[in-house]
Amino acid sequence: MYRIPLVFTPQAEGGYTVTSPALPELITEGDTLEEAQANVQDASDAVLEIYTEQNRPLPLGIALPTGEVVWSDALVGNL
């Protein structure tokens, strides 16, 4: 299982583009926030397949530790 940071950017014409600072190859979109979120699974599967096919290591920090883990993220203002 992986934890991938995502950025949902609203588009002027409507909808959202989704990118990831950890996986620059991950780009998808959706007409709504919910649709964009749903498209992330297919996009991340495709990117992970590319890494596997090219024998590239995944970026550090996206693999979740095994065992019982509670993970939480928080959005904070400008620091």
pLDDT tens digits for range 11-48:
999 999 999 999 999 999 999 999 999 999 999 999 99
- Domain that residue 41 falls in: 7-53
- Does residue 74 fall inside a structural domain? no
Number of domains in the chain: 1
Give the phi and the psi of residue 13 in degrees, each rounded to 5. -85, 0
Q: Answer whether residue 26 is part of any domain.
A: yes
Answer whether residue 42 is part of any domain. yes
3 — pLDDT class (breaks 50, 70, 90): confident
Residue 36 lies in a domain: yes
Q: How many CB atoms lie within 10 A of CB 1?
A: 9
Query: Does 2 reside within a domain?
Result: no
CA-CA distances (angstroms) from residue 41 to 14, 26, 27, 36?
Answer: 21, 10, 11, 10
Question: Does 62 map to a domain?
Answer: no
Residue 15 lies in a domain: yes
Q: Could you tell me if residue 16 is inside a domain?
A: yes
